[in-house]
Structure 1
Amino acid sequence: MRAPSIKTLLSVAVAGALSAAALSGCSSAGAESSGWAKSPETLVFAAVPDKAGSDANWKPLQEYLAKTTGYEVEYYPTSDYTALIAALTAGKADIGTMGGLQYVMATAKGAEIEPVAASLTSPDAEDAGYFSEAIVPADSTITSLSEARGKSVCFIDPNSTSGFLFGLKALSAAGLDVTSTGVDASGRPKFDDFTPIFAGSHDKSAQAVASKQCDLGFAEDTVAAEAVEKGQVKVINREYVPGGPFTVSSALPAEAKTKVTDALRGASVENIKKSGVPLTDGFTSSYFGVLAVDPSYFAPISDLCQNIAAANCAS
């Protein structure tokens, strides 16, 4: 998925804009029979923009994949996490990039995808993980998450890895009850111990906390760091999160799947530069290469899904 954090983060439109059923109904017989999402030798790359206008940040990687595999690569933007999961489940994408929770949720829904690489978070990182950070306004008297009881808490989206699932983990560890007591009019979970506010993206969560629309909130570390630098918020807790994966469709023909997997695992910034693909500021400021992974890397997220029912990972 620190786009931007080019990762994860993080959605900008209305949830549910696309449904799995609608996407499934749009599949062409030719694509289904060939194993390609759209047509033979055309790769469909699906992602969720972290911020409005961030789609172009993926262009260098798309061009690198096209050069390396010899296939055409088309970008498939989705409005939010729900739409991305629906697209993957319906077989509308050959490659996906997302947070770890979206991967777990998509596979729970039957998406035939395999995680092959995870995004590194800095130029010198040896691990693809990052942190979900709990933030409060810079002048807040709140110093620990145990003080969140009775407060308003900004999350990103019910399908967000660092902006919801790991936020609930942190609140639970601080002694708050994270058992959902029902859903609101939009179908989002409610809680007795705190009032959830879903900001929609990591930068919007940080902004809402800075402007005191929320007493505290959660955002991925790169976004939180920007707000800390500006003197808007301070960090009171952090939780390690496995990095977001790049996935490959299991339905692709074996040769194509091998080519795509090798290309993604070899997509270092150095290799992309050597290929002659022009790099953009948006890309180089948020993309630092990848680490090869397999499904076992996401076991901590699967475990949380089993233990925190409000995450509703299989829905």
Structure 2
Amino acid sequence: MVNRRTFLKSAGAAGALGLAGCTSNDGSSDGTTTDTTNGSPGTGTGTTTKSGSDGTVNFILTPAESSVNVKKQYAGVIKHIEEAAGVTVNARKAANYPAVFQALKSGRADIADASPTLAVVGADKGVTDVIGIRVAYGAAKYFSLLTAPADSSIGDLSDLNGETVAFADRVSTSGSLFPLYMLKQAGLDIGQAPEGEPKDFEGIWSNHDNAKKAMINRPDVAAAGTGAFATMGNVPKDQFPQRVKDIAAGFDDAGTEDPKLDLLKASQPIPRAPILARSNWSSSKRSDVEQALLDAKKEDFKRSEAEEELWFTGLEKGDASDYEPVRKVKENLGLEFGN
């Protein structure tokens, strides 16, 4: 029997994971509203007491990479929602994915940019519904990659025994959970990771682009586990399995960036990240907002002033059952996301 480990704690009891509320303190100065509420995270089914008025939608955003200005990225989407649904969107930025969950659970958010793992956790806890699955250039699935510098002595996953591996956020689906699953499947003892320390290797967690930078710039970091979007450009095309070549967005650019990286392992296809709604969000505008997101065209998602455009180009209807591959990994790692 899998030893279940409670992972996602309340904001007040999880300092080890840095579960700040919603913040914009990343140096980007994007004007995003900051939510610093540190009170009770709620009952597990959310509350409507902290949500906006019927004409206001609280939208929590999470940058996939630390270097991007996420509110500017979402400017076109926000404008489209406001015009199509007749609402005012109050956009806030979360420090990390656990903070997204707490914002939805406590009623401080109505909809959210979330990770695939949160689609599973939110459904299990009765906190969230999936509005839709994000699509990037026609693909509603993506991949997690474990990579190493091309000039290193690391040739396969077993070589990482005793080494240091960089990961993204501890609850990142493609940047932590799937890489840990692949390492475990390769026979490495992951110990109490992701919330604790692995046994057969050292793990460091940050975000996708910083994990990649650590691997490239630090001699002591042997490999990185990230979403494919962070490292695919550095890996030669001929190293990818056919499943990646067939459906990965951005594969045409594989191997075009320096420095070159070697692919150690690519995951099975992962359903792309969802846009979630709070399950008990009772606004009369809810259906209009959800339909506006599903009806948005590619140009709506690209209509922004950000230097880095949104990585996705649309939203297709989905529900929590689409995230069964993520549930399998979560259960294999023995994780329970507690209150």
TM-score by length of 1: 0.80
**Equivalent residue number for residue 17 of structure 1:** 20
The aligned length equals 281
Residue by residue over 1:42-101, the C-alpha shift from the partner in whole angstroms, topping out at 9 and shown as x without a partner, is 001101223244221111111111111111111011112222121111111111011111
Question: Structure 2 vs 1, CA of residues 24 and 59 (structure 1 numbering), >3 Å: closer, same or farther?
Answer: farther
Match of 1:245, as an amino acid? Answer: P
Indicate whether 1:243 and 2:272 are aligned: yes
Indicate whether 1:260 and 2:302 are aligned: no
Question: Structure 2 vs 1, CA of residues 296 and 313 (structure 1 numbering), >3 Å: closer, same or farther?
Answer: same
**Cα contact 2:127–2:278 (8 A) shared by 1:** yes
**Cα contact 1:43–1:73 (8 A) shared by 2:** yes
Q: Matched residue of 1:68: which SS?
A: helix
Match of 1:173, as an amino acid? Answer: Q
Unaligned runs of 5+ in 1: 1-13
Indicate whether 1:89 and 2:117 are aligned: no
Alpha-carbon separation, structure 2, partners of 1:44 and 1:62 = 11
Alpha-carbon separation, structure 2, partners of 1:283 and 1:164 = 24
Tell me which of 220, 223, 229 is aligned to 1:222: 229
Deviation at 1:283, TM superposition (A): 5.9
Residue by residue over 1:73-131, the C-alpha shift from the partner in whole angstroms, topping out at 9 and shown as x without a partner, is 110111122221211111111110111113333444x452211211112x2x2x31111
**Equivalent residue number for residue 297 of structure 1:** 322
Alpha-carbon separation, structure 1, partners of 2:291 and 2:278 = 14
Moved over 6 A (4+): none
**Cα contact 2:68–2:308 (8 A) shared by 1:** no
Alpha-carbon separation, structure 1, partners of 2:41 and 2:186 = 45
Identity of aligned residues (%): 23
| RMSD of Structure 2 on Structure 1 (CA) | 2.7
Q: Matched residue of 2:89: which SS?
A: strand
TM-score by length of 2: 0.75
**Cα contact 1:248–1:260 (8 A) shared by 2:** no
**Equivalent residue number for residue 139 of structure 1:** 151
Unaligned runs of 5+ in 2: 1-16, 23-35, 236-256
**Cα contact 1:16–1:82 (8 A) shared by 2:** yes
Q: How does 1:1-315 map to 2 (within 5 A)?
A: 15-18=18-21, 22-24=38-40, 32=48, 37-50=51-64, 51-55=66-70, 56-108=72-124, 110=125, 112-121=127-136, 123=137, 125=138, 127-180=139-192, 188-198=195-205, 200-211=206-217, 212-228=219-235, 229-239=257-267, 240-253=269-282, 255-270=284-299, 272=300, 278-280=303-305, 282=307, 284=309, 286-309=311-334, 311-314=335-338
**Cα contact 2:73–2:310 (8 A) shared by 1:** no
**Equivalent residue number for residue 240 of structure 2:** none
Residue by residue over 1:221-254, the C-alpha shift from the partner in whole angstroms, topping out at 9 and shown as x without a partner, is 1110244411242222111222100011222336
Specify which structure has the higher proportion of helix.
1
Alpha-carbon separation, structure 2, partners of 1:117 and 1:45 = 15
